[in-house]
Amino acid sequence: MSHAVSRLRDERLARSTKPFIARGSRAPRCPDCRVIFSYCLCAWRPKVQARSAMCLLMYDTEPLKPTNTGWLIADIIEDTHAFGWSRIEVDERLLALLDDPQWQPYLVFPGEFVARERVVTRVEPAPGKRPLFILLDATWTEARKMFRKSPYLERFPVLSLEPEQISRYRLRRSRREDHFCTAEVAALCLELAQDTQASEVLDAWLDVFSAHYLGAKFQRPIDPEDAAHTTVKKYR
């Protein structure tokens, strides 16, 4: 597999001075789905079309983490771009993407931390443009730092997810009900952009990944007939 996040992982590994050791099992993992081979989910990977695109700004070792869900977005959304974030250097390819006239960029971030005039809650690109969602793929503390120290993003509207949208996605993964992983946020953005099918498939793909990852961690059997597997099976 070669997509934007896997290529960024390779670039990050090439710069590493020592091996990156993920937490947990040291058993060999599938390089394409990042789960140990006996629980590999590559055969389940779905294909779906989307008008929207994703731009992942990834903090330092995020591309190396087997639990990173930005990877799942790139699995599903063909127009996914991934860049490592740096406070002092900005990838010229990122700036070129943001200036590409085919895109309407939206920076996704909570509105309560942003000047009110920048905040939008709907996805309404100008005629002839497609939505490009900029996601800060990091911990919450890191994401706030990235938001403050990325002046090249200040010209874009900030898409803030409203409570009634979030309430439909109270999925099982965080102890905080208002905290969501990157793939969950991307699914919400796709729904707002009327990419409903892609949103549903990404949600299901996240559930499939979670089942296989946790199954491997705790040696649990996988149910190939559950709702998530049944959904992605339709799009393989």
- pLDDT tens digits, 66-92: 999 999 999 999 999 999 999 999 999
Give the separation between CA 171 and CA 47, rounded to whole angstroms. 23
The whole-number average pLDDT for the span 193-210 is: 95
Percentage of the chain lying above the pLDDT 70 cut: 89
Tokens of 31: 């390089």
φ and ψ of 72, to 5 deg: -65, -35
Q: Which helix (H) or strand (E) holds 206?
A: helix 196-218
pLDDT range class, residue 169, cuts 50, 70, 90: very low
Angle ∠(58,215,230) on CA atoms, nearest 5: 85
pLDDT at 167 over 50: no
Closest CA to 191 of 153, 224, 218, 164: 164
Comparing CA positions, the residue from 102, 103, 120, 101 lying closest to residue 111 is 120
Q: What is the pLDDT of residue 20?
A: 57
Q: What span, in angstroms and rounded, lies between the C-alpha atoms of 101 and 178?
A: 34
pLDDT score recorded for residue 2: 85
State the pLDDT at residue 77: 97
Closest CA to 232 of 2, 51, 42, 68: 42
- What pTM, to 2 d.p., does this model score? 0.91
Q: How many CB atoms lie within 10 A of CB 11?
A: 13
Whether residue 16 is predicted with pLDDT greater than 80 in this model: the reply is: no
| 47 pLDDT above the threshold of 70 | yes
Looking up tokens 């990173």, which residue turns up?
Answer: 68
Average pLDDT, the chain: 90
Beta strands in 8-141 (DSSP E): 53-59, 80-85, 103-108, 119-120, 130-137
Q: Which residue has the tokens 């079309």?
A: 49
Give per-residue pLDDT as tens, 115-145: 999 999 999 999 999 999 999 999 889 999 9
Q: Is the pLDDT of residue 8 over 90?
A: yes
CA distance 109 to 134: 9
